[in-house]
Amino acid sequence: MATSYLTLKAPSEHYRQIIVMRSMVIFTLAITASLASRFGMAHLPLTPILVALLLLTVANGLSILRLRHPKSVTATELTAQLFIDIIAVAAIAYFTGGATNPFLSYLLVPVCIAAATLPSKHAWAVSAVGIILYGLLLRWYVPLQWLAPPGGGHAHHTSGPNWHVLGMWLNFALSAILISFFVVRMASAVRVQQDELNRRREEDLRDEQLLAVATQAAGTAHELGTPLSTMKVLLADLRQDAQARTAFGDDLDELYRQVNHCADILTSLRARSDLSRLHEPAALPAREYCRTLLDHWQLLRPESRSEIHISDTLTEQQVRFHATIEQAIINVLNNAADASPDHLSINVSSNADHLVWQVNDRGEGLPEAALRALGKTFFSSKPDGMGLGLFLTHASIQRFGGTVTLAPRPEGGTTTTIKLPLDA
């Protein structure tokens, strides 16, 4: 099962824990070797043991310095740390009885850590190195008399194998393989589940923001009704006044049209809030739907110069879109028109079971902060913008299985691509 490298904790935290564990191992081995030598419990070769512990301490110190570097810790670095532990323990075991040394079972600890925190290929690499070094210590090591098997002699000096020690190695190999196989899979499943939970938390937060916006919009729409009615009455009176008509005739007509348009928007908003229309939208010919939407947008933005191409493949296809999808697409078109009012390219086509809108503008492009904030929070690159457009667009389209992507154009500007299932 292939999964991405997702850890429940930051890799630097794993790195830090490995350093702490190694420090404990160094301290434990140093105290054990010191006591065993002082009280004559075993004739240990202290010099190579102390050299190995000293090198391990130096590696620990360098690892601590690495943590101070701001660069992120990689899976390869974690794997290298575990290799250091395995090689150091195997080197000490070589001078203290090889595979007959019970401390050699510590090699299973790096294997477990690798299985729980590293990608599959790194975990298997750690497991393989541990098994190979353990196997080599069955044959090559410096024997200790007090660790020799009963009956005298040493495993590598007798004619037959030491089945007890060989069995220990087989048990280690089997345990390492099972851990690398099953624990890697279980850890990967937990990571994927955690990633899914994080994604759902982000969606819940986004939905809470949308609910807050919707509540405010409903209240605002209700409050706008009265002043708009008053403005319509006053403008109607002014249009009838001969003196005002002479001085501001064209301006009054334009204001009257705009106020009527605002009133129509509120009426349309109330109509779209009907639950039966929201949850059971009617199926429409795809080309007709796109043409109607673009005609409506061009009425809203008559100053925008745009090249529009609607693919002929949409003639025989139908779409069933939630009412909020239309406003989301209009938001994208408005953003592109704001960025590049003199030249806009709009291409509408189909791809398998998806409707694809591609909007190209020649504006200054979006900053990196806007790309990172897409669909996650309110963001606006305009001085007087509220940051709702991109957020609401992304939320509406993603809710019905679509995607919104923004990419810089080589010649300047931004390409916004919307992909929507034909039945959204």
Lowest mean pLDDT among 2-6, 96-100, 287-291, 368-372: 2-6
User: Which pLDDT band, with edges at 50, 70 and 90, does 248 fall under?
Assistant: confident
User: Which pLDDT band, with edges at 50, 70 and 90, does 49 fall under?
Assistant: confident
- Of the candidates 328, 395, 391, 390, the one whose C-alpha atom is nearest the C-alpha of residue 355 is 328
Is 265 a residue whose pLDDT tops 60? Answer: yes
* 231-242 per-position pLDDT tens digit: 878 888 787 877
Is 404 a residue whose pLDDT tops 50? Answer: yes
Mean pLDDT, the chain, rounded, equals 78
Is 333 a residue whose pLDDT tops 80? Answer: yes
What angle (nearest 5°) sits at the alpha carbon of residue 30, between those of residues 90 and 175? Answer: 35
Supply the pLDDT for residue 86. Answer: 93
Percent of the chain scored above 70 by pLDDT? 78
Is 152 a residue whose pLDDT tops 50? Answer: no
Supply the pLDDT for residue 242. Answer: 77
* 368-403 per-position pLDDT tens digit: 655 555 555 544 555 444 455 677 777 778 878 888
> Which residue in this structure is represented by tokens 């639950």?
275
- Of the candidates 103, 94, 110, the one whose C-alpha atom is nearest the C-alpha of residue 22 is 110
User: Which pLDDT band, with edges at 50, 70 and 90, does 282 fall under?
Assistant: confident
Supply the pLDDT for residue 179. Answer: 84
Is 42 a residue whose pLDDT tops 50? Answer: yes
Q: Which value, in Å, is the radius of gyration of the alpha carbons in the chain?
A: 36
* 80-125 per-position pLDDT tens digit: 999 999 999 999 889 888 888 888 888 989 998 888 888 889 999 9
CB 7 within 8 A of CB 191: yes
User: Which pLDDT band, with edges at 50, 70 and 90, does 348 fall under?
Assistant: very high
- Of the candidates 164, 138, 148, 134, the one whose C-alpha atom is nearest the C-alpha of residue 42 is 148
- Of the candidates 375, 356, 372, 369, the one whose C-alpha atom is nearest the C-alpha of residue 415 is 356
CB 404 within 8 A of CB 418: yes
